[in-house]
Amino acid sequence: MECRTGTTVWQHSRLQDVCLTDLRLLLASLFVGLLLPLGFAQLPPWWLAPLLILCAFCVWRVSLVGRYCALLLLGFCWALLFHHQALAQRLAPSYDGETLVVEGRIASLPEQTATGWRFRLEGVRAIDTADALPDLRMHWWAGQPLAAGELWRFEVRLRRPRGMSNPGTFDYEAWLYASGTGGLGSVRGGERLSAPSTAPWRDHLRSRFAQALEPVPQGQRLLALLLGDKGSLAKADWEVLQATGTSHLMVISGLHVGILALTVFWLTRQLLSWGHFNWPWPQLWLSVPLALMAAGVYAWLAGFAVPVQRALLMCALVSLTQLSQRRPSAVLIWLAALVTVVMLNPAAPLRAGFWLSFVAVGLLIFGLGGRLAQRGIWARWGRAQWLVYLGLWPWLLLWGMPSSASAFIVNLVAIPCISLLVLPAALLGALFEVAFHWPLLLQWSAIALGWLFSVLQWISGYSPLLHFANPGWLAWVTTLLGVLLLLSPLVRLLWLPALVCFLPLLCPLFERPPRGEVWVTVLDVGQGLAVHVQTAQHDLLYDAGARLSSGFDLGEAVVAPALQASGVKRLDMLLLSHADNDHAGGALAVARRIPVDRVVSGEPERLPDQLNAELCAVQHWQWDGIDFTLTPLGADGSQANDRSCVLQLAAGSNGALLPGDIGQSVEYSLLEKLAPASLLLAPHHGSISSSSYAFIRRVAPQWVVFSAGANNRYGHPHAKVVARYRELSVEPVYTAASGAIRFTLKANAEPGLSWRWRQQERRFWHEQ
């Protein structure tokens, strides 16, 4: 009888393990199905979903494998219908570039920037046509103070959700799509129509806490910690946090939500255990719901960001298991939360935060179970930090994000300081301020946070950011494999193979043109210019994009990452045609990221001293069989545009001409000095003041590239200029429509347009 009983228990345990494995695989199949549509350049038609749902029901009962396939198909159909609906809610093309008067309610906590306000507008309606418009991401330059929930009437210039498209750079359009943004708006003027219809508690709390923290210099940082208000942090603060790998600590994250839930759960259990309460039901029935309610309120304060959604869902799942007195595996809870987040928003995987938050939790589950759970608390804490630091490295690499060299050491101390000292004190202080108007504890918390931040500022001066260009999927996969080997229990046996796996990342092999061939890549920098000229062993950058008044630097965000994605480790020359912002504004950021041997410009006196620029002079040289010629034209009294340094390059009979912003008068003076070129960069972005008939006939290009922003306020390129080129049989190419564009020129061969980045890397959420 004992033997049978033992056998029955063993069989039941075995059956339970098999069922758990099946459930995990079923959830994994559903997750893969939800992800599949994100790989399409163009979505399959929506009517395919009902057919696939019928197929899923047919294969469900065939076998266990059939159930996996059925859930994969159901996940695919759910995501497919979601994406079709999301695309249908975008701003109509007829409104793109139009200026309208609209009404709407401010849906987000307004974020104050150096140049004005950013906020989300919902319930938008066009006044003239009464048409309903999608939710808009708005920017009001130097606008009036705003509050969440207010109803406003704005005069706004509308744009489709469009961004720049370059190799190795952030996909802004994917970010907008994942956040549910249907359009962009630039406010020209506004009128407040009414106060919030309901109490904007989040905005009210922000004002209340900001007033309480006004005497404390570090108060703005505590607001970011308490309310997830990223606008409370200055750019310098973000740079410190990025350099030390502590950005996740300064806004409401999943870690904070989990700690709050555990704290409320523990406090409730302690109060009920004192015996002063005659609670007739199990303690879990009160402590678990209260903990979940506290987590929900805090998640609401955070605006339900993806890491917070993950933490709240995991708290809810753990709460359900506690109340049901079951103990499912941590992996199952993690998978259930993962699938739930993606089902609620199938576009969530387009944001880096989704992967970083879920991967971090998955790493902790993977690395802290089994025999490691028997170690001491400090050993487990160190192990946890090592898991997250090393395990997230491939994912930071995948998303083009830098890694902090000091993050592992800093987080060992910073996380306990924030989570166990500053955050609990701040939450308690916030409660006292709301209930009793007693701000002292809140102010002490801000002072303590300021002390910690002072330490972080000191460390950031000695903590370099590690930038790695993503050399491709093969190198990423081998890096991921190397990290998994280093994190495995058999690391002592596998450390050598693990290090070998990092070789493709540390010693990447980038494709370069052979001798006698040159690649000319015109980057998409909006209303500006940046051109990468690459030969077999040399790299030249002609102009570096703009640095906008908002602080957004095209050199840092676009040009430098695009160069690194092409394998550039050093620039032989940074040639700035002239010193106007749209051509030279990003130069300093590029020089900080990539070493530069020489900086040459038509206006060196207007450039920052750090660049040590020299004046453009007539020069001829040759790199790897390619001839280069610099031609300075403008006199000292000339306008800035006419002082542009003109670059000619030739690969045999095929050449390219980069004339900067010269006008027609300078074009005429150039006619005798120019050789025909297959590729011409349109002077002054296609302005009506440039591109004369005589100039075009002399150059006789096959292509002309217009580097200008979509629907820019200058009207570049001018319609008459485009017609002029077409009349002379020149094919126009636009960075606004094509993204970055690469041309290949070589001797004794036809020149070619190698790729247009927007078309080559197109996904369905990208604008055509």
Determine how β-strand 703-706 pairs with β-strand 731-734: parallel
pLDDT in tens, 640-657: 888 999 999 999 889 999
Check pLDDT > 80 for residue 339: yes
Q: Looking at the domain assignment, is residue 41 inside a domain?
A: yes
Nearest of 697, 649, 678 to residue 753 by alpha carbon:
678
Residues 117 and 43 placed together within one structural domain of the fold? no
Q: Is the peptide bond before 346 cis (omega within 30 degrees of 0)?
A: no
What whole-number distance in Å separates Cα of residue 244 and Cα of residue 405? 8
Angle at CA of residue 691, ends 689 and 696, nearest 5°: 160
Q: Looking at the domain assignment, is residue 246 inside a domain?
A: no
Count Cβ atoms below 10 Å from residue 252 Cβ, excluding itself: 27
Residues 58 and 126 placed together within one structural domain of the fold? no
Over residues 417-432, mean pLDDT: 86
Question: Would you say 193 and 103 are in contact if contact means Cβ atoms under 8 Å apart?
Answer: yes
Residues 652 and 756 placed together within one structural domain of the fold? yes
Q: Which of 35, 56, 88 is the last residue of a domain?
A: 88
Question: Would you say 52 and 76 are in contact if contact means Cβ atoms under 8 Å apart?
Answer: yes
Higher pLDDT residue, 760 or 384?
760
Question: Would you say 570 and 545 are in contact if contact means Cβ atoms under 8 Å apart?
Answer: no
Q: Looking at the domain assignment, is residue 434 inside a domain?
A: no
Nearest of 320, 342, 314, 297 to residue 254 by alpha carbon:
314
Q: Looking at the domain assignment, is residue 236 inside a domain?
A: no
Residues 642 and 591 placed together within one structural domain of the fold? yes
Residues 660 and 628 placed together within one structural domain of the fold? yes
Q: Which amino acid is residue 106, in one-letter code?
A: I
Domain count for the chain: 5
Check pLDDT > 90 for residue 636: no
Q: Looking at the domain assignment, is residue 301 inside a domain?
A: yes
462 φ/ψ angles, rounded to the nearest 5 degrees: -120, 10
DSSP states along 592-645: HHS-BS-EEES-GGGS-GGG--EE---EEEEETTEEEEEE----TTS-TGGGPP
DSSP states along 244-279: HT-GGGSS--HHHHHHHHHHHHHHHHHHHHTS----
Q: Looking at the domain assignment, is residue 15 inside a domain?
A: no
Check pLDDT > 50 for residue 525: yes
Q: Looking at the domain assignment, is residue 450 inside a domain?
A: no
Q: What is the pLDDT at residue 4?
A: 42
Residues 65 and 180 placed together within one structural domain of the fold? no
Check pLDDT > 50 for residue 127: yes
Distance of CA 251 to the CA centre of its chain: 17
Check pLDDT > 80 for residue 250: no
Residues 136 and 32 placed together within one structural domain of the fold? no
Over residues 76-102, mean pLDDT: 94
Q: Say which residues have a Cβ less than 8 Å from residue 328's Cβ, sequence separation at least 6.
A: 20, 321
The residue segments making up the domain with residue 570 are 517-760
- Helix segments in 89-109, DSSP class H: none
* % the chain with pLDDT above 70: 91
Determine the length of the chain: 768
CATH number for the domain that contains residue 140? 2.40.50.140
Residues 181 and 82 placed together within one structural domain of the fold? no
Q: What is the pLDDT at residue 10?
A: 42
The two three-digit tokens of residue 726, written as one number: 């077409």
Residues 67 and 182 placed together within one structural domain of the fold? no
Least confident of 110-114, 476-480, 543-547, 733-737: 110-114
pLDDT in tens, 163-173: 999 999 999 99
Q: What is the pLDDT at residue 405?
A: 84
pLDDT in tens, 188-243: 999 998 876 554 676 677 778 888 888 888 788 888 887 776 767 777 888 898 88
Which residues lie across from 646 on neighbouring strands? 631
Q: Which of 67, 88, 109 is the last residue of a domain?
A: 88
- For the chain, the average pLDDT equals 87
What whole-number distance in Å separates Cα of residue 59 and Cα of residue 214? 64
**Residue 740 half-sphere exposure toward CB, CA atoms < 13 A:** 25
Helix/strand/coil percent split, the chain, to 5:
50, 15, 35
Q: Which of 88, 108, 127 is the last residue of a domain?
A: 88
Residues 603 and 689 placed together within one structural domain of the fold? yes
Q: What is the pLDDT at residue 198?
A: 52
pLDDT in tens, 540-590: 999 999 998 777 899 999 999 999 999 999 999 999 999 999 999 999 999
CATH number for the domain that contains residue 588? 3.60.15.10
pTM: 0.88
Residues 34 and 119 placed together within one structural domain of the fold? no
Q: Which amino acid is residue 265, in one-letter code?
A: F
CB-based burial label for 667 (10 Å; 0-12, 13-18, 19+): buried
Residues 303 and 287 placed together within one structural domain of the fold? yes
Check pLDDT > 70 for residue 8: no
Higher pLDDT residue, 372 or 630?
630
Q: Looking at the domain assignment, is residue 216 inside a domain?
A: no
